[in-house]
Copies of this chain bind each other. A is one copy, B any other.
Amino acid sequence: MAEMTSRPGRHFLQIPGPTNVPDRVLRAIDRPTIDHRGEEFAELAKGCLENIKAVFQTRHPVLIFPSSGTGGWEAALVNTLDPGDRVLAFETGQFAALWVKLAENLGFQVDFVPGDWRHGVDAAAAAARLGADRNHEIKAVMAVHNETSTGITSNIAALRRALDEAQHPALLMVDAVSSLAAIDYRHDEWGVDVTVAGSQKGLMLPPGLGFNAVSEKALAAARTAKFPKGYWRWEEMLALNEKGFFPYTPATNLLFGLREALAMLREEGLDQVFARHQRLAEATRRAVRAWELVIWAANAEEYSNSTTAVMLPPGIIETAFRAVVLDTFNMSLGAGLGKVAGKVFRIGHLGDFNDLMLAGTLAGIEMGLELSGVRYRKGGILAALDYLCETRRQ
């Protein structure tokens, strides 16, 4: 079978998503498709729709689209805005930039607060922009909670405060694609109006589902928003979801997987899930520092617990480095994207992940550095293991 690689052993998929899909989820997906208009399906859907709320930390509805996370971006915008509306966004990295590009393609006017890609959303800058917008022309604020391209987590609570202090009515839209179910994320408490997520990161599924968690304010906006919309329209979907159905054929087999993934998250406990990601991320960062390489994120309080972007010394091309790691050690690392292409590589340490998978990951990087002729100090992996030992569950 031509599709099969001849690399022995398990592949380490350490990109920041899709993540390593656990066997339980894969096996759940591998079930015969069922009638999406029948009672068995309705039970499946109602369970997913109800149980997904806890993951967003919301009591409000969550919509599930057969789409990538990008579809979730589009759905957030087209359901709540009028054509040509002005929105505010922050250049925290490639995914912020792509969301802006999507918004512009849809004809929205985007105030894109520039950034150096090494910092999260600047809440002070946001406050300034919002304060200056006396006519409330800005209809929505778009922020990426966890920038997958840079390993930087923004302070959404602070952004909320900026909105509140400016008494600005703009909707708050947040991309939690690579933080959901990995980093503490609080849709209700932070007053987020639309949270966008995807299936292939902390939710441990293959790609193919996009999510919108919504607030009442967002739902109210949707009732009057004039942007033309069809596929992404919340209205019919919410109405049909009540009974466990969808306005068009849902991605049934991924919902089988979602049910299983939600069960796994419940079994572990969301707090444990966050603590696990924090611990594995900190171990990763200790390894990076021990290697005397530079964590791309400038501020420690913005370090991402799902992804670490690492700068390579001048003269080392990340594509070449990653190719060595892939070819020699059967591990996929994340590419540098957009403005940081060629400069950083990214380590995904989220999803169904544990200490020894991390050890294998760091070993692959350490050996990759060696084989690539990077100037580094040996023993990053030991620094990580030391931390993992210290912080073991007693």
Contact = CB atoms under 8 A, between A and B. Distances in A.
Given A30-B27, A33-B18, A388-B367, A9 B208 contact: no
B367 A389 contact: yes
A290 B163 CA distance: 58
Contacts of A103: 230
Interface in A94-109: 98, 102-103, 105-107
B389 A332 contact: no
Given A359-B360, A381-B381, A67 B231 contact: yes
Interface string A362-394: 111011001100000011011001001100110
A357 interface: yes
A149 to B, nearest CB: 12
A228 interface: yes
Interface of A: 1-13, 15, 17-24, 26-27, 29-38, 40, 43-44, 65-71, 73-74, 83, 98, 102-103, 105-107, 198, 200, 206-208, 228-231, 233, 247-254, 256, 259, 263-264, 267-268, 273, 276, 326, 328-332, 335, 352-357, 359-364, 366-367, 370-371, 378-379, 381-382, 385, 388-389, 392-393
8 contacts: A1-B1, A11-B34, A20-B32, A21-B253, A106-B229, A208-B253, A328-B393, A356-B363
